[in-house]
Amino acid sequence: MNAGQPAEPRIIAEDLVKRFGSFVAVDHVSFRVGRGEIFGFLGPNGAGKSTIIRILCGLLRPSAGRALVAGIDVARDAERVRERIGYMSQKFSLYRDLDVEENLKFFGGIYRVPRAELGERIRFAIDMAGLGGREHALVSNLAGGWQQRLALGCAVLHRPPILFLDEPTSGVEPASRRRFWDLIHALAADGVSVLVSTHYMDEAEYCHRAALINQGRLIAVGSPEELKNTALGGDLLLLECEMLGPTLAALQSAPGVLDCSVFGNSLHVLVGSAERSLRELPDYLAQRRLPPTRLVRIQPSLEDVFVQLIAVDSAKRRAA
Amino acid sequence: MRWRRLKAIAVKEVLQIWRDPRSLMIALLLPFTQMFLLGYGVNLDLKHLPVCTFDREGSQLSQALFKHFQASQYFTIARNVTSYAELTAAIDDATCGFAIVVPPDFSERLNDTGSAPVQAILDASDDNTANLALGYATAVVAGYSADVQLHWFDRQGRPLQQIEPMTVQSRVWFNEDLESRNFIIPGLVAVIMALVGAQLTSLTISRERERGTMELLVSTPVKPVELMFGKLAPYLVLGWLDAAFCLVIAALWFAVPFRGTLVALFLTTTLFLVAVLSIGYLLSVLIRSQVGASQIALVVTMLPTVLLSGYVFPIDQMPTVVQDITYLLYSRYYVTILKAVFLKGSGILELMTPILFLAVYASAVMILAARSFRKRLD
């Protein structure tokens, strides 16, 4: 597992544990997020992503471990942390019966944005969210994508150095999602550290680094490239053949093969070395009268990596 | 505490109240309708109670007694019956609440001995009315007896001034007409304000929870006191409006004499409102659902205020234990204050004790509410 340490850590999680009764929602999680870094949390629903974010925002007290945000211990001084962060909760939580500008003014007041700057900050947020001309539209009348961008606007109104975004793109159509990620990148370019969770695996590509979370544990951390290249612990081959079932069975015990799974009407074969297996596997299968019609090395998508890692991790836990 | 944040909360609350015209209408109309409904509904005065007479003698003297009843504003003779069966029927079907029976030997005994019993039959299914009726009937009969006695002495040739016994000249203060309305209506204002006040704020926090806005709110640096004062302020203004409605209706429509000063009324009403609004807010903090909070608010404000504040039921007639409990009830002090300000014209100085109690109460509830608000989700 690669956990490259950022130079200027703004968020430090050390051995965080959160138990609800006997249920362990967060299980010894450690990571660091640097200045201007976009750090993604990926994982299935209920993996513990929101719980970790809530701990870092000071909304939940960790059962064990330590969380430093902007250098402040969250468990000790949550109020000082709250002044330095922006938060978008998973559930939309702006006031739907207020209009766009009223919501922004409200958060401007709550965060005590200097009055002289407030007008300009609100203008910036409205432009950023693309809500120009809709300043007086009630939030309940806005479409999902606009609502989410407004929520981001409210979260950055006080120029926090750290942003926590909990599934900000869930339920938003693809074009709007893309636009949302552009905004996140613009903020990160200004030095804002962004911790963002998502259950869309493809969105990991937009992150500088991503952490895969399953059942409360970090099972892989790294840049998208690192994850694709090393997290699987081998190379990935695509195999097309006549008889899927028997081929799958034969491959399970083939030399050099680590794992094999059905992928559509082809097979994904994880091998220790692509070179060796590309050389040896056709013969191995031909001897068993199962000659492949096609065998090539492929670059795994992040989805491949995650599906594979989560399957392995879940199997390991069941065995334990 | 930061003024800026408090203001942001207050402005947001005002906008939300404004955008929800239905609940705003309820907040403004409820006290209005309650005032009229309860103001007319609750009346402890007995006027023109229908009376059934059964004259078993039919003499001049017995008819004179009935005339005394007819002349009194408390009774109206509705039926004259000639048998007990008819009398029973009149009481049973509630055409009469009171019956008076003159015995056949009424005149004879009166002339012989100077005294004669008459029978009164009361429908005590409403014991309050029955008690009042009995009291007034005794007074009417006593008045008649005095007349008869005078005649008797007169016939004996005794000078009248000799038989003047000791008399009580009573003078009623503060509610000269002994109008029950005059002491009920000021208390009614307290009942309505307790009901409306706590209802207004009982929804504020639970609404944030139910709409999902609470999670974001607690992630901001807003302090529990800022949140509380920011949320209470707009409702205090609404409460002032409601109280002004009620008090104006009491003084102008129901013509309850107002002898105090507006300053005393404003100060005490504000204190009471703060106490009641804080109770609603505290419940809103403690109880997660809007419906639950408003139900409990109803039970802890309206019920004890009606029963234990002395609004209708006099506290000094309650068992000692219950009397002691009433000291714990904030509305008790406001009812006392309102009656005193309206009827006695008491000022702030005379009312120092109940004012202090109210102030302590309001502060205690607010401290409790601010402390029970947690900025964490677990």
In this predicted structure, the answer to whether residue A85 has a pLDDT above a threshold of 70 is: yes
CA-based torsion, A33, A39, A42, A45: positive or negative: positive
Contact check, Cβ <8 Å, B212/A87: no
The residue of chain A with its CA nearest to that of B5 is A110
Give the one of A89, A98, A112 whose C-beta lies nearest to B215's C-beta.
A89
| Residues B328 and B272 grouped into a single domain | yes
d(CA B98, CA B119): 11
Residue of A60, A88, A97, A140 for testing the chain B interface, max B β-carbons within 10 Å:
A97
Contact check, Cβ <8 Å, A111/B221: yes
Q: Does B21 touch chain A if contact means CB atoms closer than 8 Å?
A: no
Residues of chain A with CATH 3.40.50.300: 9-222
| Residues B88 and B226 grouped into a single domain | no
Q: Which of B163, B197, B229 is the last residue before a domain boundary? A: B163
Residues in chain A: 320
Residue of B216, B231, B373 for testing the chain A interface, max A β-carbons within 10 Å:
B216
The string of pLDDT tens digits covering residues A37-51 is 999 999 888 899 999
The answer to whether the beta carbons of residues B14 and B225 sit under 8 Å apart is no
Contact check, Cβ <8 Å, B5/A79: no
pLDDT of residue B138: 85
Whether residue B26 is contained in a domain is answered as yes
Q: Does B9 touch chain A if contact means CB atoms closer than 8 Å?
A: yes
Residue B223: both structure tokens together? 């302090």
Residue A282: both structure tokens together? 């056709």
Contact check, Cβ <8 Å, B8/A102: no
Residue of A56, A91, A110 for testing the chain B interface, max B β-carbons within 10 Å:
A110
The residue of chain A with its CA nearest to that of B224 is A79
pLDDT of residue B143: 82
Contact check, Cβ <8 Å, A110/B214: no
Q: How far is CA B64 from the centre of its chain?
A: 38
DSSP-based three-state secondary structure for B83: coil
The answer to whether the beta carbons of residues B184 and A62 sit under 8 Å apart is no
The answer to whether the beta carbons of residues B356 and B271 sit under 8 Å apart is no
| Residues B100 and B234 grouped into a single domain | no
Contact check, Cβ <8 Å, B216/A54: no
B299: number of Cβ within 10 Å: 11
The residue of chain B with its CA nearest to that of A62 is B378
pLDDT of residue A172: 84
Contact check, Cβ <8 Å, A98/B12: yes
All residues of chain A having their beta carbon less than 8 Å from the beta carbon of residue B16 are 95, 97-98
| Residues B62 and B23 grouped into a single domain | no
Q: Does B218 touch chain A if contact means CB atoms closer than 8 Å?
A: yes
- Which distant-in-sequence residues (6+ apart) come within 8 Å of B346 by Cβ? B260, B264, B337, B340
Residue of B2, B15, B203, B220 for testing the chain A interface, max A β-carbons within 10 Å:
B220
What fold, for A9-222?
Rossmann fold (3.40.50)
The residue of chain B with its CA nearest to that of A102 is B12
Whether residue B173 is contained in a domain is answered as no
The residue of chain B with its CA nearest to that of A106 is B8
The mean of the pLDDT values for chain A is 91
| Residues B143 and B228 grouped into a single domain | no
| Residues B226 and B247 grouped into a single domain | yes
CA-based torsion, A166, A167, A173, A178: positive or negative: positive
pLDDT of residue B175: 65
Contact check, Cβ <8 Å, A82/B221: yes
DSSP-based three-state secondary structure for A193: strand
Q: Which of B133, B163, B193 is the last residue before a domain boundary? A: B163
d(CA B201, CA A125): 33
Whether residue B172 is contained in a domain is answered as no
d(CA B133, CA B138): 8
Whether residue B377 is contained in a domain is answered as no
Whether residue B168 is contained in a domain is answered as no
d(CA A314, CA B237): 59
Contact check, Cβ <8 Å, A60/B15: no
Q: Provide Rg for chain A, Cα atoms.
A: 23
Give the one of A54, A92, A106 whose C-beta lies nearest to B8's C-beta.
A106
The CATH number of the domain where B146 resides is what?
3.40.1710.10
Contact check, Cβ <8 Å, B16/A95: yes
Contact check, Cβ <8 Å, B220/A92: no
Q: Provide Rg for chain B, Cα atoms.
A: 29
d(CA B213, CA A149): 16
Residue B115 sits in which domain range? 49-163
| Residues B15 and B76 grouped into a single domain | no
Q: List the A217-222 sheet strands across, edge first.
A: A85-88, A162-166, A193-198, A38-42, A209-214, A217-222
Q: What is the identity of the amino acid at B16?
A: Q
Contact check, Cβ <8 Å, B219/A102: no
| Residues B31 and B61 grouped into a single domain | no
The string of pLDDT tens digits covering residues A143-177 is 988 999 999 999 999 999 999 999 999 878 888 88
pLDDT tens by residue, chain B, 378 residues: 899 999 999 999 999 999 988 888 888 898 888 888 888 876 667 778 899 999 998 888 889 889 988 888 888 999 899 999 999 999 898 888 889 999 998 888 888 877 788 898 988 887 778 888 888 888 888 888 888 777 777 777 766 555 555 666 666 676 666 677 888 889 899 989 998 888 889 989 989 999 999 999 999 999 999 999 999 999 999 999 999 999 999 999 998 999 999 999 999 999 999 999 999 999 999 988 888 888 898 888 888 888 888 888 888 888 899 999 888 888 999 999 999 999 888 888 899 999 999 999 999 999 999 999 988 887
d(CA A150, CA A127): 10
Q: Which of A252-256, A306-310, B68-72, B189-193 has the lowest mean pLDDT?
A: A306-310
pLDDT of residue A61: 94
d(CA A145, CA B4): 30
List, in sequence order, the alpha helices (H) in chain A. Answer: 49-56, 78-83, 100-110, 115-128, 144-156, 174-189, 224-230, 244-252, 274-287, 302-319
Q: Does B216 touch chain A if contact means CB atoms closer than 8 Å?
A: yes
In this predicted structure, the answer to whether residue A96 has a pLDDT above a threshold of 90 is: yes
d(CA A273, CA A257): 9
**What is the ipTM for the molecules in this complex?**
0.85
Whether residue B351 is contained in a domain is answered as yes
Q: Which of A126-130, A300-304, B121-125, B249-253 has the lowest mean pLDDT?
A: A300-304
For every residue of B90-128, DSSP letters joined together read HHHTTS-SEEEEE-TTHHHHHHHHS----EEEE-TTSHH
In this predicted structure, the answer to whether residue A306 has a pLDDT above a threshold of 90 is: no
Q: How far is CA A3 from the centre of its chain?
A: 15
* Number of domains into which chain B is organized: 2
| Residues B39 and B65 grouped into a single domain | no
| Residues B150 and B267 grouped into a single domain | no
pLDDT of residue A200: 87
| Residues B30 and B67 grouped into a single domain | no
CA distance A69 to chain B (A): 14
DSSP-based three-state secondary structure for B173: coil
d(CA B285, CA B287): 6
Whether residue B169 is contained in a domain is answered as no
Assigned CATH for A233-299: 3.30.70.100
Whether residue B170 is contained in a domain is answered as no
Q: What is the identity of the amino acid at B197?
A: G
- Which distant-in-sequence residues (6+ apart) come within 8 Å of A33 by Cβ? A6, A9, A10, A11, A39, A193, A195
pLDDT of residue A73: 96
d(CA A136, CA A201): 36
Hunting for tokens 């205020």 — which residue is that?
B305
All residues of chain B having their beta carbon less than 8 Å from the beta carbon of residue A79 are 221, 223
| Residues B358 and B338 grouped into a single domain | yes
Residues of chain A with CATH 3.30.70.100: 233-299
CA distance A218 to chain B (A): 23
B177: number of Cβ within 10 Å: 10
Q: Does B165 touch chain A if contact means CB atoms closer than 8 Å?
A: no
d(CA B333, CA B309): 8
B55: number of Cβ within 10 Å: 19
